[in-house]
Structure 1
């Protein structure tokens, strides 16, 4: 009987280990994925961020380590604010990658549109299904010689949050509130809820990039927010705006 129990215990342990191994093997895809990168010379405060809807204050807070991404990565604007770590593939183009294959972490602030007049491997760098980063020039210079023009890269999601607060900017109309939600999380924003002094929590609709909207009269009420990122973390920011807030007003709260 003891021998049978011992055998059953060993069998259960082996089955548990096998299940754990299979679960691990079927978990997330490889951390590093293949892509390509080019660069642009636009000043961050001079027009970047149009597709994501950042204002100059938001772009300046992010700094020069910004990127536009192709359709495959942009995900209809849900990736705005995401942080990625990118490195040049020195095993393929050692003449263009910087020595030691350094990495750069960038924030998604814009969309790199497709150019269907050109082939994906001949100028249509951002055509689907290509994964492409159009980095700011300062970011590109961290990993490769700009003379290369385009380099093969590997990228991974960064797990390091931006060292900035959560920032909210009220916009829109009295019955159609548009809120710029500038999250400091390394993961993109998944959902946003808003609460007025006299309302329950209201789910906001993703409008564009970092903008979220709700159809509700909220003037004259103090406003609170719940922001959840794609990693499942939620920050609740109570009474971010006082009851006398105005459209165009900005407020901050502790972030992720």
Structure 2
């Protein structure tokens, strides 16, 4: 028996509501639209001043990020949750914009701190959306670096990486900490869990700062597996990616990538 017109209309409304809250639907809309922000740069052409930073990454050249990076204002940085995410930017509405509408894709590797003593002068104060680029990336967008601050449009972009997701051990004999980097796809990391080869049980880790995760003890001397959930909700298990002989400072590459 066919449903009544009223039932069909109700089912259609429910379907539209489900679509509206679907993460996939939200992602598709967000990836298609441009949003307004501003951009400037810090450091020089060598990139020496953009190393390290609030995401916990070390030498950006060694880790594969290079100069294609940005610091994010407080509103965009989101207390480190945006670390590793990629953004496409284009200069928009300035006489300094490079001809042809050139765009760059950069990875969030640092934070641009707020200065609440200068609420009308600091572009990184919330709720402003601001990108503090490496100088080479800024020069791809503008004709002259003396432009200082320029209006831009931005949108999230997929991250392209070489090789698998990498794990750099940061802990010691009493506790385990790990830097998760070289993440493709969404780029940012929503959750991390660890499993020791002897314990055999998954334990959730907590974000310490940036993309450094910790909170698990008594795993020294065990091989480690990690379950990483990226910002788009996808999860990958890296089984036995870290050997029992690991020490702090060592980096290990997984066989998988998002």
Asked if these proteins are the same fold (TM beyond 0.5), I'd say yes
Band the TM-score falls in, shorter-chain normalisation? 0.7 to 0.9
Residues 70 and 128 in structure 1, CA contact (< 8 A), matched pair in contact too: yes
Inter-partner Cα distance in structure 2 for 1:46 and 1:136: 9
Q: Tell me the residue number matched to 1:154.
A: 153
The runs of at least 4 aligned residues of structure 1 exceeding 3 Å deviation read 8-30, 42-47, 57-60
Cα displacement (A) at 1:15: 5.7
Matched, 1:78 2:81: yes
Post-superposition offset of 1:12: 5.8
Which consecutive residues of structure 1, in runs of 5 or more, have no partner in the other structure? Answer: none
Supply the distance in 1 between the matched residues of 2:61 and 2:218 (Cα, whole angstroms). 26
Cα distance between partner residues in 2 of 1:25 and 1:191? 24
**Partners of 1:101 and 1:252 in 2: how far apart?**
37
Looking at structure 2, the residues matched to 235 and 23 of structure 1 have their Cα atoms a distance apart, in angstroms, of 26
Aligned to 1:68: 71
Question: Which of 17, 33, 36 in structure 2 is aligned with 1:34?
Answer: 36
Q: Residue 87 of structure 1 corresponds to which residue in structure 2?
A: 90
RMSD, matched Cα: 2.4
Match of 2:181 in 1: 182
Aligned to 1:193, the other structure's residue is in SS state strand
CA distance in 2, matches of 1:67, 1:138: 11
* Paired position in structure 1 for 2:135: 137
Aligned-partner SS, 2:170: strand
CA 1:24 to 1:224, structure 2 compared with 1: closer, same or farther past 3 Å? closer
Deviates more, 1:205-214 or 1:243-252: 243-252
Instruction: Give 2:221's aligned residue.
Output: 220
Distance 1:126 1:56 in 2: 24
In structure 2, stretches of 5+ residues that fail to align are none
Using the size of structure 1 for normalisation, the TM-score is 0.85
Rounded to whole Å, the distance in 1 between the matches of 2:224 and 2:19 is 43
1:246, CA displacement in angstroms? 1.7
Asked if 2 retains the 8 angstrom alpha-carbon contact of 1:58 and 1:182, the reply is no
Shift of 1:19: 5.5
- In the alignment of these two chains, the number of paired residues is 246
Q: Distance in 2 between matches of 1:180 and 1:116?
A: 30
Per the alignment, residue 111 of structure 1 pairs with: 111
Distance 1:62 1:11, change over 3 A: same
Q: Which moved more, 1:105-114 or 1:238-247?
A: 238-247
